[in-house]
Chain A
Amino acid sequence: MSFFGLDWTRKKEKEVERKIRANDREYNSSFKYATNAIQTSKYNIITFLPLNLFEQFQRIANAYFLFLLMLQVIPAISSLSWFTTVVPLVLVLCMTAAKDAIDDIHRHRSDRQVNNRKVNVLINGKLVSEKWMNVQVGDIIKLENNQFVTADLLLLSSSEPLNLVYIETAELDGETNLKVKQSLTLTGDMTDNLEALSAFNGEVCCEPPNNRLDRFTGTLTCGTQKHSLDNERILLRGCTIRNTDWCFGLVLFAGPETKLMQNCGKSTFKRTSIDRLMNVLVLFIFGLLALMCIILAVGNAIWEYKEGSKFTVFLPRDQNKAFSAFLTFWSYIIILNTVVPISLYVSMEVIRLGNSYYINWDRNMYHARSDTPAEARTTTLNEELGQIKYIFSDKTGTLTQNIMTFNKCSINGQCYGDVIDHYSGQRLEITEEMTPVDFSFNRLADSKFLFYDHSLLEAVKLESPEVHAFFRSLALCHTVMAEEKKEGDLVYQAQSPDEGALVTATRSFGFVFRSRSPETVTIEEMGIQRSYELLAILDFNNVRKRMSVIVRNPEGKLTLYCKGADTLIYERLDPSCSKLMEATTEHLNEFAGEGLRTLVLAYKDLDEEYFSEWKQHHHEASIALEDREEKLDKLYEEIEKDMLLIGATAVEDKLQDGVAQTIEQLTKAEIKIWVLTGDKQETAENIGYSCNLLREEMNKVFIVAANSPKEVRQELRDARLKMCPTTEQDKFLIPETILGNTPKVVEDEHANGDYGLVINGHSLAFALESSMELEFLRTASMCKSVICCRVTPLQKAQVVELVKKHKKAVTLAIGDGANDVSMIKAAHIGVGISGQEGMQAVLSSDFSFAQFRFLQRLLLVHGRWSYLRMCKFLRYFFYKNFTFTFVHFWYAFFCGFSAQTVYDEGFITLYNLVYTALPVLGLSLFDQDVNAGWSLEFPQLYVPGQLSMYFSKRAFMMCALHSCYSSLVIFFVPYVALYDTARSDGRDGVDYQSFALITQTCLTVTVFFQLSLDLSYWTVVNHLFVWGSLGMFFILTFTMYTDGLFRIHPPSFAFIGTARNCLNQSSVWLTVALTAVLCVLPVLAYRYLCSQISPTINDKVRYKVHQTKEPAPRPRRTKLIRRSTRRSGYAFSHAQGYGDLVTSRRFLWRPQPARSTGVTPTGRSPGFKPTGRSAGYSPAGREQNPKQKVEPTSLQMFRAVKDSSF
């Protein structure tokens, strides 16, 4: 709400090109580049007051009050003393300023900490330890391992071969995997020769500062040589040096001009739907205010004409009626200003802050294993959590743990992995108490791998040839890389976590994959080291859905090992194993039914002649210029046939704890859950079933997997017709006209049952086109749950935007990885899963916690309460202020429209600040209709929030009408009861001061009763606040009307004696009682009758809680029902291209960071895309906080491979 819209940052001349000369501070300083000192703090001691005040007055509410204050200074208009406005305003300004000051002190502290970090700078041929803030553009600095990069640097040289530097970019983009940078050979040759480095006088000419992290253009001129510079040579501030002993860099951008700081721009400011509604309402209130003032001004003109003009004997005044009306208008603007109370905004902030703290404090959202509490990172969105209608969830790392475990297998028709009870023959549920298989015979076994079926190891030990073949095939057929730093300390780096799981399991069973070179794979088979010659990798791709290796064993025998999706491998099996296929199929179905990811293994012995011929073709094909892919595929197809079945594996994609139960709860709360995953359809579908998102009881799960827009549209239409045969084609848009903005809003349509929708990436791309998006939205929003597969980060955001734009619903996006950032930012509420991968998702989120299951508590408990509290607060706040203000309106008719206030000015000042502030704050910080346990027991309680039932325009109008009634009662009852009457001592009854005191007592007592009626949870604090405030009213009233204060300053305390002269009258108290009863009892009766005649879910639950008087039920753990039908799922979360990487010699010369961004794919695989998340295999007890320990990455393995081969 920038009011003045002023931007007083000095316009700096725009930099077009940056010129830097190394080791030449004089030259560089001529350009006035920024130094490396950063300043995120906004104020210092001197500028704090003016700047902060200036900022605060940019808020429209504060500006409005300043305007009122100015009006009050004009004597002709001033109807109230200045202090009625100044006191609240100063209080509000002070509170905000205090908060800003504390924030800024924190920023100062962190700035100082960062600026005072030490780094070695090369000055006059010597390395000098300097503070970061003193580093300048053009300096050469030395960084050591695990140090933060000081500024944006041009990498000059490094300790590593080939002048490589490994960096972690977690702070920058959230990815924890290492990336590699390489310096130019020219500069790299200087190594750590300080003389050479100090003599280096290269000149860099590059782009001006910008915020693009993935791009850099520039040139380095060194003598006559000119080299182009790209992002590969640049180290950005915010990165950390890893696995590199030292490196030298030339500072290009420093401090505020670094890309990191350039990226710290304004984050989009999210507002809640209540905020938006409030904006509309405030406009309406201003309208109402203007209307009331106009009515009163006109009234004044009429009064002046009819009465006032004659009343001049005793009150001579200006006879210009129009001018008098004009002044009256402004006078009433001042008096009636309390309809837009300044304390409203402050109170709202306080309430949200308080409710945010509850989230931070909640032990039920604290994850002990990773020591991560929940965190409300944005403190202004709480009540929105109670209105969520759509949840968009990432899958990997959010629903699942991204941990794969080898769970079961089928070998030669024999199923392993289940624990069978010896007596009953029943399958037992695997629990922690069972004794896992003892792998101690194998010194290379992975200690974290657990397996409970002892029969498989026995089979291995008995040297069953099939079992050996099974494990041998798993040990050979993969693209995993191994690193063995010390003897026996094996670390695997797998591109696909499935493969990692399989190879690790194999290792434990005694078939240890030890190392690979481009031509060989070395494994240890039951303690015997054997080296297989790797002749070819028939790489994986999306169509083949399988991969094969061709190896020659030490004995010289050629074998092809293949693993892949069951459907595709079955087609290529030798007919001789049809019997085995049947048995295996049964097992596969069983595995799939349990939600496991399955793979089928097969092999084929090859004869030398055939192979050499094939190899020849293969070589021709791989260098072919045209149709290389197709030719290769054809060749693969040719050799992968007539294979023999070995068995099948089942890998469990472990769900996070409580995911299924959480999803069930959220579904009961009528929240629609859409899973947006980068995974493929089968995997996503499988997870959908295992986490209860898709259920067997659903009427149908639609699968949209079409290849043309037309088909997609048709499939969507068909699905919709199935769900709701009466659906109309076009009549689904309701026009929405708020502030002239008319986006099309898609109305909710109801399906005739429970449906699910799965849409693959291809179809989604079509569905998100503007011509079809509404079609897609209509169909999708009729389903209970939607799964979108193969979704890119951009599409994730598009889907969220689509729902946000065309549905009047509040959306929440939850995710953990950098690829979820776009959707987290797009949704109304973004939730980040903390403590796992990088920090990027958390950093851009509004709320963060460690486990998906905490979402139900966040929404159903905290969200619901926050919403309830905020709505109650607003309703009550408007009620009390409108009632307060409207009394002035009625009084205008009895004071000649002269802008005479009804109440004492002291009361006007204190009403919002003292008398009514705390009780309503207590209401909005402590109120709960039912406690947390019951909130979770009845997720249906969440529904009213989605429908905005507690506070809407209608509720606001009801508030206004209610206030109107109350104000009429509060004004006219004392009026009729007391006018023309005498007190019990015979003195005349209603002088102005007594009347003021009586009405303000009536008002205070009435709003007090109303609050008591609204408050459903009376804690000690509430009692204290409510009774304390009521007491405070009487105490302060008596105090302000005492002799002592009057003597200090007679004009300010002119009400002296009114309280004791007035409140000793029984008729006054009878009037107060009558007023309060007349105001409150109708509401009470209405509420009671409503709760009887048409009880809401809320009434019912509260009634039930009241009846049972039991403590809240413990949260139930719902067991997942095993599904009867079988589906085939296969696991191969593979990306194409790794085969090439493994066999290619190129990577040895020029290491390609496998998962870094901005690297062009090598080899023949244009489809190879880095997935952007660390897909490294993590065994079950994986380190939860990756920041603490740097896991070795593929890069190191590439190096290891290189070292061993040369």
Chain B
Amino acid sequence: MKKEEEGSERPDNTAFTQQRLPAWQPILSAGIVIPGFLLIGLAFIGIGIALFLTSQTIQVLERDYTGYEQTSPCFTCSSPSAKNCTCEITFSLDKIFTGPVFFYYGLTNYYQSFRKYGVSKDDNQLFGDTTYFKNPQDSCFPYQRDSNSRPIVPCGALPNSMFNDTFELFHEVNKTKKRVPLDGKGIAWWTDYNIKYRNPSFVNGSLANAFEGTEKPINWPTSAYELDPTDPNNNGFLNQDFLVWMRRAALPQFRKLYRRITEGDYAAGLPAGDYFLTIHYNYPVLNFDGRKMVVFSNVSWMGGKNDFLGIAYLVVGSLCVVMSVVMLIVYAKYKFKEDS
């Protein structure tokens, strides 16, 4: 018959339309699964050992200074009535705390992750957009305007609640307290400092003028442009402590970097000896059962001290090895019959 002419409706013969596209068809065969598990297991065990050992070398020193207990040196400061209170905690190191040492403050039971808290800021304002200085966004409520209806800059609960305890660390050398230099530069993210946050353009050569007509956040003792009297470049929205605070924590218990100890005699670390930490106690946490602490730590390639990852890798790796053995037994017992 005249088949060629007739086939006007004949579908195209392509690998795609005929569902014959060449394909890789892996199956879960014993030859892949069992060695696979073994290899993953061994690799995990290897990584786990490395992680665990690394984690062991990292030194961490943590001190709670909330002043919750009466015996605590900061007990007096923790009372709400105390103003400009200073307290001092001491600690001693048996051996050198290798540097660079990082100095953190920690808070617990503190819900920076609460949605309304997190959104309570004005990104445009913080980007230096002065139109938002006069009219802060509604998300800043109730820290949008003060009682006189003057706009607050930076507005919102998140800036308003900025951590304002300050610390001074002294090392006792020859019975005298030697101040340990704390480096407050570069503790915030580069992108935050250089891109995300912008100070408003100076007006008449002054940052303060740019803030004119605005009110400082209610909890703050000073305005944003006076945050660091020692360094004019560390003011406004580009204050490092402010930037660290504004990068809100994901979980109700968190640490934030306060200072680095990288200078002078302490560049190699904190030598053994006694140390005094003077705390200017301002930040109230007891009314919501929060705790404040200071943490000294050094880091490795994997970051700060964390035993979990190492242990988890070891456990998972071992389980994989065990599993591969189980599979091998099963394979020997239930081997596919060829004739099936």
CB within 8 Å of B: which residues of A? 75, 79, 307-308, 310-317, 331, 357-358, 360-364, 366, 368-369, 371-373, 865, 894-896, 898-900, 926, 928, 931-932, 973, 975-996, 1016-1022, 1043, 1046-1047, 1050-1051, 1054, 1056-1057, 1060-1061, 1065-1067, 1070-1071, 1074, 1077-1078, 1081, 1084-1085, 1087-1089, 1091-1093, 1095, 1100, 1102-1104, 1106-1107
Contacts and interface: CB of A to CB of B under 8 A. Distances in A.
Interface in B37-86: 37, 40, 44, 47, 51
Contacts of B313: 1070, 1074
B11 A360 contact: yes
B301 A361 contact: no
Interface stretch (B90-98, B230-238, B254-262): B254-262
A1057 B195 contact: yes
A1077 B112 contact: no
Contacts of A1085: 33, 37, 323, 327
16 contacts: A308-B111, A357-B17, A362-B18, A895-B111, A982-B297, A985-B299, A1016-B27, A1050-B196, A1057-B196, A1074-B313, A1081-B320, A1084-B33, A1092-B30, A1092-B334, A1102-B27, A1106-B25
B306 A977 contact: yes
Given A366-B10, A989-B304, A1056-B196, A310 B287 contact: yes
A425 B248 CA distance: 99
B21 A1092 contact: no
Interface stretch (B116-124, B146-154, B171-179, B270-278): B116-124
A1046 B195 contact: yes
Given A977-B312, A986-B100, A371 B12 contact: no
Interface in B287-317: 287-289, 297, 299-306, 308-309, 312-313, 316
A865 B18 CA distance: 13
B25 A1016 contact: yes
B202 interface: no
B204 interface: no
Nearest to B106: A980
Contact of A926 (B21, B27, B124): B21
A1093 B334 contact: yes
A1066 to B, nearest CB: 6
Nearest to A1018: B24
Contacts of A1088: 28, 30, 33, 327
Nearest to A328: B115
A386 to B, nearest CB: 15
B27 A368 contact: no
Nearest to B128: A1050
B269 interface: no
A1051 B251 contact: no
B248 A371 contact: no
Contact of B23 (A357, A373, A926): A926
A926 B7 CA distance: 27
Given A311-B288, A977-B308, A371 B301 contact: no
A1103 B336 contact: yes
Q: How large is the interface on B (under 10, 10 to 19, 20 to 34, 35 or more residues)?
A: 35 or more
B161 interface: yes
Contacts of A1047: 195
Given A931-B20, A1067-B302, A1043 B109 contact: no
B9 A896 contact: no
B170 interface: no
A361 B17 CA distance: 6
B255 A980 contact: yes
Contacts of B256: 988
A899 B304 CA distance: 30
A1067 B27 CA distance: 32
Contacts of A928: 19
A1021 B196 CA distance: 40
Contacts of B111: 307-308, 311, 315, 895-896, 898
Given A308-B111, A865-B19, A975-B251, 10 more contacts: A364-B18, A369-B6, A980-B254, A982-B255, A983-B299, A990-B251, A992-B118, A1066-B303, A1067-B306, A1081-B323
Given A989-B304, A1067-B306, A1104 B340 contact: yes
B26 interface: yes
B19 A991 contact: no
B18 A361 contact: yes
Contacts of B320: 1081
Interface string B131-171: 00000001000100000000000000100110000000000
B184 interface: no
Contacts of A988: 104, 244, 249, 254-257
B281 interface: no
The 9 closest A-B pairs by CB, nearest first: A1057-B191, A982-B304, A995-B250, A361-B17, A314-B161, A895-B113, A898-B115, A310-B288, A900-B115
Prevailing SS type, chain A contact patch? helix
B312 A894 contact: no
A816 B253 CA distance: 73
Contacts of A1106: 25, 27, 29
Contacts of A1022: 23
A984 to B, nearest CB: 5
B206 interface: no
A990 B100 contact: no
B47 A314 contact: no
Output the residue of A1047, A1051, A1093 with the most chain B CB within 10 A: A1051
A1019 B28 contact: no
Contacts of A985: 299
B257 A979 contact: no
B22 A307 contact: no
A961 B189 CA distance: 39
A314 B18 contact: no
A1085 B37 CA distance: 9
Among B11, B44, B247, the one with the most A-chain Cβ atoms within 10 Å of its Cβ is B11
Contacts of B334: 1092-1093
A896 B138 contact: no
A980 B110 CA distance: 13
A369 B3 CA distance: 8
A504 B25 CA distance: 57
A1107 B336 CA distance: 11
Contacts of B253: 979-980
A331 to B, nearest CB: 8
Contacts of B118: 900, 992
B54 to A, nearest CB: 10
A1019 B22 contact: yes
Contacts of B20: 931
B195 A1056 contact: yes
B226 interface: no
B190 A1057 contact: yes
A872 to B, nearest CB: 15
Contact of B142 (A316, A898, A989, A1046): A316
B187 interface: yes
Contacts of B37: 1081, 1085
Contacts of B142: 316
B225 interface: no
A950 B304 CA distance: 46
Contacts of B330: 1089, 1092-1093
Contacts of B17: 357-358, 361-363
B299 A990 contact: no
A900 B255 contact: no
Given A900-B113, A982-B102, A1100 B26 contact: no
A604 B151 CA distance: 122
Most buried by A among B21, B115, B284, B305: B115
A372 B9 contact: yes
A316 B120 CA distance: 11
A977 to B, nearest CB: 5
